[in-house]
C-alpha cells in the first residue's frame, strides 16, 4: 500500500513539475489548474532572479516562460533563467547585458550548478552594476566605469 501511494505521488509530482501525463484517478482539470499556478510561481521566481530578461519580454513574460518551462523540471530560478536566456538568444539591450554579466562572473555548462569564476574577465572588471529605480522596482544596469 505504501509503495502504491509513493508511486502515485511521484506520478503526480512528475505531472505538476515536468508535464508528464495526468495519472489515473486525478481530475485533469484540477491538476491543470495546479500546474498553471506552479508555472506562474516559477515565472515570478525567475523574473526576480533575471529582472532584465523578464522586462525584455514585457506582457508576454508569463506566456514565454510557460511555453519554455512546460516540459522542463525546475533547476532553480538562477539556472532556469539562464537556460531560458540562452534559448532566447540573441538577446538585445539590458537582457543581453544581464546574460553577459552572468556569463562573465559564473561558469555554467547547462548541466551542473553554476560556479563563480575565481577571477572576473577583463570585460567584467571594466563594468560595474548601478542601481536604477524604475516604476518602483530596483533594476540593475551595466555601464562602463569612468
Domain presence at residue 141: no
Domain presence at residue 36: yes
Q: Residue 86 corresponds to which cell in the numbers above?
A: 540562452
Domain presence at residue 133: no
Q: Which of 57, 56, 98 is nearest to 78 (CA)?
A: 98
Report the alpha-carbon angle 49-36-40, nearest 5: 20
Does position 101 have pLDDT exceeding 70, yes or no?
yes
Digit-coded pLDDT (tens) for 12-39: 888 888 888 898 889 999 998 999 999 9
Domain presence at residue 67: yes
Residue with cell 538577446: 91
Task: Give residue 25's pLDDT.
Answer: 87
User: How many domains, in total, are found in the chain?
Assistant: 1
Residue 142 to residue 101: CA distance in whole angstroms? 8
Domain presence at residue 15: yes
Digit-coded pLDDT (tens) for 110-127: 888 888 877 655 555 555
Q: Which domain holds residue 95?
A: 10-125
Domain presence at residue 25: yes
Task: Give residue 134's pLDDT.
Answer: 46
**How many other C-beta atoms lie within 10 A of the C-beta of residue 102?**
19
Domain presence at residue 146: no
Does position 40 have pLDDT exceeding 90, yes or no?
yes
Amino acid at each position: 500500500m505504501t509503495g502504491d501511494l509513493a508511486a502515485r505521488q511521484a506520478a503526480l509530482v512528475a505531472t505538476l513539475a515536468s508535464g508528464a501525463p495526468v495519472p489515473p484517478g486525478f481530475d485533469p482539470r484540477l491538476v491543470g489548474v495546479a500546474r498553471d499556478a506552479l508555472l506562474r510561481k516559477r515565472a515570478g521566481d525567475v523574473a526576480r532572479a533575471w529582472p532584465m530578461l523578464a522586462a525584455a519580454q514585457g506582457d508576454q513574460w508569463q506566456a514565454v516562460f510557460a511555453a519554455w518551462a512546460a516540459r522542463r523540471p525546475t533547476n532553480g530560478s538562477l539556472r532556469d533563467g539562464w537556460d531560458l536566456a540562452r534559448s532566447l538568444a540573441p538577446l538585445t539591450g539590458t537582457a543581453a547585458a544581464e546574460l553577459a554579466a552572468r556569463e562573465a562572473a559564473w561558469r555554467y555548462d547547462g548541466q551542473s550548478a553554476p560556479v563563480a569564476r575565481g577571477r572576473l574577465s577583463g570585460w567584467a572588471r571594466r563594468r560595474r552594476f548601478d542601481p536604477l529605480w524604475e516604476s518602483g522596482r530596483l533594476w540593475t544596469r551595466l555601464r562602463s566605469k569612468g
